[in-house]
Amino acid sequence: MKILFLSDTHNQLACIQDLDLPDFDVICHSGDFTNRGEFIEVEAFTHRLLSMKAKNYVIIPGNHELGFEKNKNEWRTYFAEKGITYLQDEEVIINGLKFYGVPWQRAFFDWEFNLPDGSDELKSKFDNIPNDVDILLTHAPPYGILDQVSKHKKHLGERFLLNKLETLKNLKINAFGHIHESGGIYRKNKKSPWFINASMMDSFQLPSPRRIYIAHIDEDVKTHEEQLKNCWVESFDENNLEFYNSF
């Protein structure tokens, strides 16, 4: 299975439409595909996303998708009619792998999907992640993993998410965005899941086509341990694919 991970494209998805990308089994987007959640932005995003070749499309909203939080059913229906799976604290199974999406984060200005830091309500959003999830899409990063901004080096990720990760025994990939400055990939060792901050915007709020990531999972391998062993992630460069599988 070949999966493309995107996040925080902020109306700039067109900048990668002309790249020589392969066909994908799944394209995932971890939120902030608009700037303010306006319908004209959503329509443009949908058109551009579907112009990229994939058998399946899975998206979650982010804090910039204003108005999405209270209109979950309407947006799920809208995207379903376009052939896109919209996840807001929900799951979908594709080719035997379970995908789950969580758009929430600690309160961040007056944006969408905000909950008080340390609150039981925020904790419950991450506690509800199924323990058998394979691919986890969150808008916010886990605490301490690709979650820093350059000017003050504070960790801005979610502690409740970090704690929940310990129970996710089938997890292969956690893809997220939100913190633009920390775009990249991380893996502790060969027995650990991959973490992908797929924010396409860089620290200057400019889109970078190199900040898109492709994961490969061997579908013919049935056990989680073998799938994880044979899972690898690469950063796309139109002129040179850089591989990050030598751990």
Task: Say yes or no to pLDDT of 15 above 90.
Answer: no
Residues 208-240 have pLDDT tens digits of 777 889 999 998 888 999 999 989 998 876 444
Question: Residue 10: pLDDT band by 50, 70, 90 thresholds?
Answer: very high
CATH of the domain at 49: 3.60.21.10
Question: What's residue 124's pLDDT?
Answer: 98
Average pLDDT in the chain: 91
Q: Which domain holds residue 148?
A: 2-243
Q: Are strands 97-102 and 54-59 parallel, antiparallel or unpaired?
A: unpaired
Dist CA 93 CA 59 (whole Å)? 14
Identify the CA nearest to 200 among candidates 1, 2, 4: 4
| Residue 83: HSE in the Cβ half-sphere, 13 Å Cα cutoff | 11
Task: Say yes or no to pLDDT of 245 above 60.
Answer: no
Q: How many domains does the chain have?
A: 1
Greater confidence (244 vs 58) lies with 58
Question: What's residue 99's pLDDT?
Answer: 98
Question: What's residue 110's pLDDT?
Answer: 85
Looking at 7-21, 85-99, 151-165, 230-244, which range is the least confident one? 230-244
Residues 163-177 have pLDDT tens digits of 999 999 999 999 999
Do 144 and 151 form a contact (C-beta atoms < 8 A)?
no
Residues 86-137 have pLDDT tens digits of 999 999 999 999 999 999 999 988 899 999 999 999 999 999 999 999 999 9
Question: What's residue 237's pLDDT?
Answer: 61
Percent of the chain with pLDDT over 70: 95
* Mean local confidence (pLDDT), 21-27: 94
Q: What is the pTM of this model?
A: 0.94
Question: What's residue 241's pLDDT?
Answer: 40
